[in-house]
Amino acid sequence: MDFDDQDALQRQASRVLELARRQGLMIATAESCTGGLIAGMLTEIAGSSDVVERGFVTYSNLAKQEMLGVPASLIERVGAVSEEVARAMADGAIRHSAAGLAVSVTGIAGPGGGSAEKPVGLVHFATARRGAETLHHVEKFGDIGRRMVRLRTVAVALTLLEDALSTTQAP
């Protein structure tokens, strides 16, 4: 996929919306490094209001705590960019919404902010579905530029939503 191709992302978002619509599921997003781009891509599609329940833009640690219930002690212990926080964000999006499916992202888009342990381009994802196990995914995009890290994160998040909706699970 050419990540500069907004049409490809829109087609992907349309597939996600249609799958969720068929299952009668609402979707919530919990976004840090993408700042709302995932929800923005989903709501770019006309008629998405019957599927997109809400989006949480939780760029700061305090927002993660207040809006999603991510424990401050967890963020202090493992850092905001971690598997544990991604899972807590997705679980929090389910708890604080009427959605049946949520995706979360937390990462380092750059250009700064990275370290040897957590380099620029590292993004943790999680998908949560009511009544099912919360799943984690990690990508190491590398230092490919802030815009590309964010766009690739949107594409992966949409793929994870599509995969979650394609897997038969009890709601």
Q: What does the pLDDT look like over 95-129, one tens digit per residue? A: 999 999 999 999 999 999 999 999 999 999 999 99
Does residue 171 form part of some domain? Answer: no
* Percent of all residues in the chain with a pLDDT value above 70, rounded to a whole number: 95
- Residue 99's nearest CA partner among 24, 33, 160, 38 is 24
Does residue 61 form part of some domain? Answer: yes
Does residue 82 form part of some domain? Answer: yes
Whether 71 contacts 89, CB under 8 Å? no
* 3/90: higher pLDDT: 90
pLDDT score recorded for residue 61: 98
Does residue 29 form part of some domain? Answer: yes
C-beta neighbour count of 106 within 10 angstroms? 29
Total number of domains constituting the chain: 1
Does residue 71 form part of some domain? Answer: yes
Q: Which domain holds residue 97?
A: 6-166
Does residue 50 form part of some domain? Answer: yes
What does the pLDDT average to over 135-151?
A: 97
CA atoms in the 13 A half-sphere facing the CB of 28: 24
* Percent of all residues in the chain with a pLDDT value above 90, rounded to a whole number: 94
pLDDT score recorded for residue 5: 77
The strand pairing partners of 31, in sequence order, are 57, 105
For the domain that residue 11 is a member of, what is the CATH number? 3.90.950.20
Residue 1, pLDDT above cutoff 80: no
pLDDT band at 6 (very low <50, low <70, confident <90, very high): confident
pLDDT score recorded for residue 4: 58
What does the pLDDT average to over 41-52?
A: 97
Distance CA 57, CA 21 (A): 23
Does residue 1 form part of some domain? Answer: no
Distance CA 49, CA 134 (A): 24
pLDDT score recorded for residue 37: 97
pLDDT score recorded for residue 168: 58
Average pLDDT of the residues of the chain:
95
Q: Two tokens at 37?
A: 């781009």
Residue 167, pLDDT above cutoff 70: yes
